[in-house]
Structure 1
Amino acid sequence: MQIPTEEQAAAITHEATGLTPFELLQQMQTRTILHASEPPEYREQSAPWAGIGFTLNQHQYVVSISDITEILPVPAITPLPGTKSWAKGVSNVRGRLVPIIDLSEFLGLPAPSAQNTRRIMVIDQKPLVAGIIVDEVQGMMQFPSERFSEQASATSSDTTEAINYFIEGSYNLEKEYLVFSFDKLVRHSDFLMAANE
């Protein structure tokens, strides 16, 4: 079978449609424009919010992942005389002495029954570095930003007023996770006064 030349192809096209090849291309372009569907609406998706989940007194909390430098089992702690009971002492964490704070005790919550699940979340809020003891760490969690609410339903009824001060909102997935602010914690006047008066 012989392939037709450009002139022969143009003649066949004109004979079949009554249009020149250029007119045929214009017609195809017009049809394409008329029948083109709208592109799907572009929705900018924001990055999920990442945090570290932890529990205090059987309530679920989350803190920004950027606030935590590391998570450790509770290490050996050297008590310091003349400090409040929630200031447990200092511990050697990778060659530096870090003050260790029991968050439950600081907030006036009962001591957890299970001590073996307790962990230390090390925070580095310049110039203060501290190890914060929590009842349990659930690990890294990601929350869609649209699931954030500035109002946390659990704050008024189920938690103490002392905790409510540190809550900045909540993320709601299967359950509610209260967003705890370590930034507010390390600037709180009571936290900064660990020495007994």
Structure 2
Amino acid sequence: MGVITSFKQNFSDFFKKVFRKKNARIGIYGPPNAGKTTLANRILRDWTGDAMGSVSHIAHETRRARRREGVTIKANGHSITLDIIDTPGLATKIDFHEFMEHGMEENEAKRRAKEATEGVIEAVKWLDNLDGVILVMDATEDPYTQVNVTVIGNMEARKLPLLIAANKIDLPESSPSTIRDAFPQHPMVAISALEGKNIDNLYEEIAKRFG
């Protein structure tokens, strides 16, 4: 019986290796306004000349997960083809008053808050279908937030390969070392998705980490 079980397992592993999906599905996650869509746009523009979507200073501007297939990244002898998934900003609570602070009417603010909440639920469900995650954090903010700790714990429980992008190093108050010290168990690259600083280092790490 043990021999049969071992054979089935070996055959299953071989089958998965031969017929595995061509593209690695990589989700870009993080709290609101960390720069997820800016990073997704940077990756797509660098490798396809296209863009994922619009960027806004208003939190939760991305309210639905967006996917772009077949993005090939080549870096330092490594090559990987990705399906890039840009997700809504993860938050433990979304208050419609946040939208009203940007001049929206109450009905519109409530609609946006509802959509954003549904988007967060959708983003969490996407984790079941991913091969890895790029977690974008704002290097100007304290990394010890409930959202960051919860998200990382969730991904660790799922055993998803995780790469942290400490974003916004173009700002003088940024401190990517704080993020590294907070989560030393995961690789981290300090970048500016807006200006492209250190973006080549990120591509190298993506190709090595998820390839």
- TM-score, normalized by length of structure 1? 0.24
1 or 2, which has the higher helix percentage? 2
1 or 2, which has the higher strand percentage? 1
> Which structure has the bigger radius of gyration?
1
- TM-score, normalized by length of structure 2? 0.23
